[in-house]
Amino acid sequence: MASGTTQEFNIIGTRPVRPDGVDKVTGRAKYGADYSFPGMLHGKVLRSPHAHARIKSINYEKALKLPGVKAVVVGKDLPELESKIEFIGEISLNPHYLAHNVLARDKVLYNGHAVAAVAATSLHIAEEALALIEVDYEVLPPLLDVRDAMKADAPILHPSLRNKEEPDKPTNVANHVQFKRGDLAAGFAAADYIVEREFDTSMVHQGYIEPHNAVGVYTSDGHATIYCSTQGPFDVRSMSARVLGMPVGNIKVVPAEIGGGFGGKTTIYLEPLAVALSKATGKPVKMIMTRSEVLRATGPTSGSHIKVKMGATKDGKLTAAEVWMAYEAGAFPGSPVMAGAMTILAPYVLEHLQIDGYDVVLNKPKTAAYRAPGATNAAFGSETVIDELAEKCGIDPIQFRIMNGAKEGSLQPAGPPFKRIGFIETCQAIANSEHYKSKLTGKNRGRGVAAGFWFNAGMQSTATVNIHADGSASVVTGSPDIGGSRASMSMIAAEVLGLPISEVRAVVADTDSIGHADVTGGSRVTFATGMAVFEAAHDAVRQLKERAARIWERKFEEVDFQAGKAISKNNGVPPMSVKDLAAKFPRTGGPITGRASVSARGVGAAFAVCCVDVEVDPDTAKVQVLRATIAQDAGRAIHPSYVEGQMQGGTAQGIGWALNEEYFYDNQGLMRNSGFLDYRMPTCLDLPLIEAIIVEVPNPGHPLGVRGVGEVSIVPPPAAVANAIYRATGVRMTELPMSPSRLFKATHKKGS
Query: What CA dihedral angle connects 28, 13, 460 and 243, to 10 degrees?
Result: -30
User: Taking contact as CB under 8 A, which single stretch among the options 304-312, 313-321, 425-433, 672-680 is the one that binds another protein?
Assistant: 672-680
CB of 78 or CB of 746, closer to another protein? 746
592 close to 703: Cβ distance less than 8 angstroms? no
> CA 277, CA 121: separation in Å to the nearest integer?
12
CB of 1 or CB of 17, closer to another protein? 17
Chain centroid to Cα 698, Å, comes to 23
Interaction between residue 49 and another protein (CB under 8 A): no
- Choose which of 154, 419, 676, 700 interacts with another protein (CB under 8 A): 676
> CA 264, CA 368: separation in Å to the nearest integer?
6
> CA 233, CA 487: separation in Å to the nearest integer?
20
What is the identity of the amino acid at 739?
S
Interaction between residue 620 and another protein (CB under 8 A): yes
CB of 564 or CB of 656, closer to another protein? 656
* Residues 468 to 507 in contact with another protein, rule: CB under 8 A: 482-484
User: Taking contact as CB under 8 A, which single stretch among the options 93-101, 214-222, 341-349, 641-649 is the one that binds another protein?
Assistant: 641-649
> CA 372, CA 378: separation in Å to the nearest integer?
11
Cβ within 8 Å of residue 398, ≥6 positions away: 427, 430, 431, 436, 449, 609
CB of 291 or CB of 554, closer to another protein? 291
Interaction between residue 680 and another protein (CB under 8 A): yes
We find the least distance from the C-beta atom of residue 655 to another protein, in angstroms, to be 8
Q: How far is CA 184 from CA 188, 275, 381, 383, in A?
A: 6, 54, 19, 19
> CA 485, CA 519: separation in Å to the nearest integer?
13
- Give the binding-site size for another protein (rule: CB under 8 A): 82
The sign of the torsion formed by the CA atoms of 596, 598, 604, 606 equals positive
CB of 230 or CB of 319, closer to another protein? 230
> CA 686, CA 566: separation in Å to the nearest integer?
54
CB of 106 or CB of 666, closer to another protein? 666
Interaction between residue 18 and another protein (CB under 8 A): yes
Binding mask 117-136 for another protein (x = CB under 8 A): -----xxx--xx--------
Interaction between residue 589 and another protein (CB under 8 A): no
We find the least distance from the C-beta atom of residue 81 to another protein, in angstroms, to be 33
CB of 217 or CB of 692, closer to another protein? 692
- Choose which of 29, 66, 154, 177 interacts with another protein (CB under 8 A): 29
Strand, helix or coil for residue 98: helix
CB of 311 or CB of 522, closer to another protein? 522
Q: How far is CA 256 from CA 279, 285, 676, in A?
A: 21, 16, 24
CB of 75 or CB of 521, closer to another protein? 521
CB of 155 or CB of 645, closer to another protein? 645
Neighbour-count burial of 160, counting CB atoms closer than 10 A to its CB (0-12 exposed, 13-18 middle, 19+ buried): exposed
We find the least distance from the C-beta atom of residue 211 to another protein, in angstroms, to be 7
Interaction between residue 36 and another protein (CB under 8 A): yes
Interaction between residue 39 and another protein (CB under 8 A): no
Interaction between residue 26 and another protein (CB under 8 A): yes
Interaction between residue 619 and another protein (CB under 8 A): yes
User: Taking contact as CB under 8 A, which single stretch among the options 25-33, 48-56, 499-507, 599-607 is the one that binds another protein?
Assistant: 25-33
Interaction between residue 22 and another protein (CB under 8 A): yes
Interaction between residue 13 and another protein (CB under 8 A): no
CB of 81 or CB of 687, closer to another protein? 687
CB of 421 or CB of 630, closer to another protein? 630
* Residues 268 to 297 in contact with another protein, rule: CB under 8 A: 288, 290-291
CB of 318 or CB of 643, closer to another protein? 643
- Choose which of 83, 163, 250, 641 interacts with another protein (CB under 8 A): 641
Q: Is the peptide bond before 737 cis (omega within 30 degrees of 0)?
A: yes
We find the least distance from the C-beta atom of residue 747 to another protein, in angstroms, to be 11
209: nearest Cα among 653, 691, 737: 653
CB of 364 or CB of 516, closer to another protein? 364
Interaction between residue 672 and another protein (CB under 8 A): yes
> CA 154, CA 168: separation in Å to the nearest integer?
16
55 close to 235: Cβ distance less than 8 angstroms? no
Interaction between residue 683 and another protein (CB under 8 A): yes
Can you state the angle between helices 271-281 and 233-244, rounded to 10 degrees?
A: 50
* Residues 165 to 224 in contact with another protein, rule: CB under 8 A: 206-211
Give the DSSP per-residue string, 261-328. -TTTTSS-SSHHHHHHHHHHHSS-EEEE--HHHHHHHS--BPPEEEEEEEEE-TTS-EEEEEEEEEEE
Interaction between residue 250 and another protein (CB under 8 A): no
We find the least distance from the C-beta atom of residue 40 to another protein, in angstroms, to be 10
Interaction between residue 257 and another protein (CB under 8 A): yes
CB of 596 or CB of 606, closer to another protein? 606
743 close to 617: Cβ distance less than 8 angstroms? no
Q: Which of 294-314 are b and which e, b meaning 16 or more Cβ less than 10 Å from the residue's Cβ?
A: bbbbbbbbbbbbbebbbbbee
We find the least distance from the C-beta atom of residue 518 to another protein, in angstroms, to be 19
* Residues 685 to 744 in contact with another protein, rule: CB under 8 A: 685-687, 689-690, 692, 739-741, 744
Q: How far is CA 322 from CA 151, 326, 327, 488, in A?
A: 21, 14, 16, 41
737: nearest Cα among 653, 628, 631: 653
- Choose which of 13, 673, 700, 732 interacts with another protein (CB under 8 A): 673
User: Taking contact as CB under 8 A, which single stretch among the options 73-81, 336-344, 678-686, 727-735 is the one that binds another protein?
Assistant: 678-686
Interaction between residue 28 and another protein (CB under 8 A): yes
Interaction between residue 38 and another protein (CB under 8 A): no
Strand, helix or coil for residue 149: helix
Three-class HEC string of 240-268: HHHHHCCCHHHEEEEECECCCCCCCCCCC
Q: How far is CA 373 from CA 46, 181, 334, 628, 705, in A?
A: 29, 24, 11, 22, 24
User: Taking contact as CB under 8 A, which single stretch among the options 331-339, 361-369, 404-412, 638-646 is the one that binds another protein?
Assistant: 638-646
- Choose which of 188, 262, 527, 607 interacts with another protein (CB under 8 A): 262
CB of 502 or CB of 570, closer to another protein? 502
